[in-house]
Amino acid sequence: MGIPKETDMEIKVGGSSRTAKERPKGALLVKNLYLSCDPYMRGRMRQFHDSYIPPFVPGSVIEGFGVSRVVHSDNPNFKTGDIVTGMTGWEEYSLIQEPQRLRKIQQDDDIPLSYYVGLLGALPEMGTSCCFNGWIGAHGLLTTDVYRQGRTHDLNLGTAYAGFYLLMPDFYEVCSPNKGDCVFVSAASGAVGQLVGQLAKLHGCYVVGSAGTDQKVDLVKNKFGFDEAFNYKEEPDLDAALKRYFPQGIDIYFDNVGGAMLDAALGNMRVHGRIAICGMVSEQNLFKPQGIHNLFHLISKRVTMRGFLQSDYLHLLPRFLEDVISYYKQGKIVYIEDMSRGLESAPAALAGLYSGKNVGKQVVCVARD
């Protein structure tokens, strides 16, 4: 139980363990450029947990969403030099054995490649992971060392995957916003929250966000354009705080944190309100998750509360890309990244994500294209 630490991971440098003849037919060798640090990865650090994606294999290379350049292809659908996005290893080079899970990126000079692990990213089908099988050249790789240290009992998952890869479909399909709705977004300065709030504003909603520092509150209000924001750590009574910002109640709550904030929001929902459960970051390091006490409001106020995964809306990806790219180029939405440089920075970046150190989407730049 507890927040992951840098020492739970280690960097290894090794020689090639797989020759060209040993590579599976149709596989790709890619050079990783950008890696995404995401809340759902916390759950993969625990072997015995009922989740929607398998846990990391003890001692194996960490895998996650990334942007990569193809350096060798045995697959007719990909050629050397292609830029792709999808699941990859946290290492300098990865062997991708299921390239059908990758998506080619059509580069746009106005769109940074790193945005394809955040603003414009979309994971391929997620029932099983695209595993890395260890073709290692003279490069580094990041592995999980938690299990070898005998601390599996210290890990817990209380969060669902923050579905920001297809955020606009999630917001519109799950929340069904109407112009003038009162919208509350928790973790409003993060990768998910910053976009939810801006999309809600574009839809004509009144939007309030919560964040964990005064710096983040300022960012939410003055950069992302929320109507109001507050530092939840300075609010001794969350129920009172929400009543202050939503005297008539909340129509939509986009929940990224769970716990006490979800409980307080339940007590402040309006009749026929909607709650989208995207993540529960406040619960992820607890051995025993907190209980929710205000569930009766789901009945009395006929509130809809719904969890979701980004993979539920992959069919809407083309529309999402078209609309969000247009919004970005028109300056209607902004996007903030917290970029770490070099694979050696990855342990600190991932650990910092779970303690709230990041401001915006946490990305690791392994190499520039």
Q: Between these two residues, 14 and 361, which has the higher pLDDT value?
A: 361
**15 shares its domain with 66:** yes
pLDDT tens digits along 316-350: 777 777 888 888 899 999 998 989 899 999 888 88
pLDDT tens digits along 272-322: 999 998 887 766 655 667 778 999 999 999 999 988 777 777 777 777 778
Q: Which domain holds residue 24?
A: 6-163+337-365
**In this structure, what CATH number is given to the domain that contains residue 278?**
3.40.50.720
Tell me what pLDDT residue 211 has: 94
pLDDT tens digits along 179-206: 999 999 999 998 888 988 998 998 899 9
pTM, two decimal places: 0.77
DSSP reduced 3-state for 321: helix
- Evaluate whether residue 281 is within a structural domain: yes
Task: Please say whether the beta carbons of 197 and 334 come within 8 A.
Answer: no
CA–CA distance, 340 with 186 (Å, rounded to integer): 24
Q: What pLDDT band is residue 150 in, cutting at 50, 70 and 90?
A: very low
Tell me what pLDDT residue 47 has: 58
**In this structure, what CATH number is given to the domain that contains residue 92?**
3.90.180.10
CA 146 to chain centre: 22
**261 shares its domain with 186:** yes
Residue 159 has pLDDT above 50, yes or no: no
pLDDT tens digits along 214-260: 999 999 999 999 999 999 999 999 999 999 999 999 999 999 999 99
Domain count, the chain: 2
